[in-house]
Chains A and B, each alone.
Chain A
């Protein structure tokens, strides 16, 4: 029985260490974000006035609850900047996701149909850019999309355009950047679901009189849907909160919520507003994140 108590203690310790870490560095910080989003901004360091003073005890806490300040959230709805940057974030991320799906599906499909021996190499080629710095990959497009950049040089050299295109510092550039940076996140889950598909299903369909293009729509596409959903969420969720891409490739009029949060925090030094933006951003992402986590959990159960 002593060994049983030992294993129970061991279990507790094994759960306890990571649980403590996650509480301290994930749960508590987010609670602080929520708290500060309900605070008054002041020009000081730190630039906010705490609503709760934990040292004052429970009575003070209860009293403070009575005068919580939802001004920041009201403020978010009155200033059109915030609403517009939300809508613009979702529009840009959504459009980019659709483009990535259109670009990524053929690539994943071709990979899954490639000779078995070369497939690991192809997967590695898709993953490799992911391992090289994100910042550098975005930076690379600054040189390509600039007014005197490689794209305009190439198009001008081919005689396709007479005037250089202004792509850098537009929403188009931001979308190109997102498509480029997040393409592997779409291709890999798509490839995974296409690769494990039993090709004899297509043979069976053909045997039963289904022409190849119909077999693609009736068999291949439905079976790859889990990969499609996973890929879209994997791209859409981080793209909505993206900061680096709109900052480097977008113009001053490119509105994305991550960028707004950043400038609220670093330029305007308004921590409560930045926190309120963060809270609302996360609330907006709760649904896709929830779907994604649900899928992950199901996937893990299925692998078991």
Chain B
């Protein structure tokens, strides 16, 4: 009813400026020739060159990507199972405990998750390294995957599965032929979410990683504690660029299938 007026536009402009100016400053000053991070001294890409020589940072990036890829994959499988159990299994004994355990990592402060997992590893004498971080990341990201897949499963039209079974498809096969292909975009979204969360995590990784498994956030954090540096600006810019590209590519690809899906569902309903 009320028009989208100048006031609304001003609010949005201010809001988005607040969200984006800090990031843009990091990006712009990564091309600063001066080591003084707040004084512009001309355009330069020398900090990117310096990055390439920083083997510590590159090693950490490699570790982080590995951890993120492996943990996101396991978390997607487990999170999907959790979502199926929560949406499809109705009431069962222990459901409340089960769902509380699923949601706990979502709301538990990271310091507690990290601390508790570390204490578990120490208690069972599990040497800290790549796998301890990866398992920790699976645990805290699988809840996010479960939420994403769960919301898709709730809107899933069960009659599609019934139709498949009606036409002679056994239940287990129905899942792989009908359900899985249709909810696949949600699984991909869940995987990407888990991947980014893992890539981004400092606190839990700090508790659970050991020698030889220093992740990128740990590396950046130890550099950042010493103050702002153009090299970190450059590393951040690369990360921001990669994530932005991935998000845009993903949303463009899912937007199409999502639009198609909604059109199909709306068409069926009307």
Interface residues in chain A, defined as those with a beta carbon under 8 Å from any beta carbon in chain B: 7, 10-11, 14-15, 17-19, 21-30, 32-33, 36, 46, 103, 106-107, 109-111, 113-115, 120, 122, 124-129, 131-137, 139-144, 146, 148-150, 153, 180, 183-184, 187, 199-200, 202-203, 206, 212, 237-238, 240-244, 247-248, 258, 261-262, 265-266, 271, 274-275, 278, 281-282, 285, 289, 292-293, 296-297, 300, 303-304
Closest chain B CB from A152 CB (angstroms): 9
Closest chain A CB from B127 CB (angstroms): 13
B224 touches A303 (CB 8 A): no
- Among B7, B100, B109, B207, find the residue whose CB has the most chain A CB atoms closer than 10 A: B109
A113 touches B2 (CB 8 A): yes
B112 touches A33 (CB 8 A): yes
- Bound-state CA distance A149–B22 (Å) is 12
Chain B residue at minimal CB-CB distance from A292:
B107
Interface residues in chain B, defined as those with a beta carbon under 8 Å from any beta carbon in chain A: 1-2, 4, 7-9, 11-12, 15-16, 18-20, 22-23, 25-26, 29, 37-38, 78, 81-82, 84-85, 89, 92, 94, 98-105, 107-112, 115-117, 119-120, 122-123, 135-136, 138-139, 142, 150-151, 154-155, 171-172, 196, 199-200, 202-203, 206-207, 217, 220-221, 224-225, 227-228, 232, 236, 239-240, 243-244, 246-247, 251, 255
Which are the 6 A-B pairs with shortest beta-carbon distances? A241-B109, A29-B116, A140-B22, A110-B8, A22-B101, A107-B15
Residue among B23, B78, B112, B116 making CB contact with A132, cutoff 8 Å: B23
Binding site secondary structure of chain A:
helix
- Bound-state CA distance A53–B208 (Å) is 24
- Among A111, A131, A248, A266, find the residue whose CB has the most chain B CB atoms closer than 10 A: A131
- Chain A residues contacting B9 (CB-CB under 8 Å) are 110
- Chain B residues contacting A126 (CB-CB under 8 Å) are 19
| CB-CB under 8 A for A282 and B200, given A14-B85, A139-B236 | no
B1 touches A206 (CB 8 A): yes
Residue among B109, B120, B196 making CB contact with A29, cutoff 8 Å: B120
| CB-CB under 8 A for A14 and B84, given A132-B23, A180-B22, A278-B111 | yes
Residue among B8, B120, B206, B240 making CB contact with A25, cutoff 8 Å: B120
A139 touches B116 (CB 8 A): no
Binding site secondary structure of chain B:
helix
| CB-CB under 8 A for A30 and B116, given A14-B85, A106-B11, A110-B11 | yes
B150 touches A300 (CB 8 A): yes
Closest chain B CB from A96 CB (angstroms): 14
Residue among A132, A203, A238 making CB contact with B239, cutoff 8 Å: A132
B23 touches A243 (CB 8 A): no
Chain A residue at minimal CB-CB distance from B103:
A293
- Chain A residues contacting B172 (CB-CB under 8 Å) are 10
Residue among B26, B120, B155 making CB contact with A139, cutoff 8 Å: B26
- Bound-state CA distance A265–B207 (Å) is 9
- Chain B residues contacting A106 (CB-CB under 8 Å) are 11, 15
B224 touches A142 (CB 8 A): yes
Residue among A114, A115, A183, A281 making CB contact with B112, cutoff 8 Å: A281
B25 touches A26 (CB 8 A): no
- Chain B residues contacting A141 (CB-CB under 8 Å) are 22
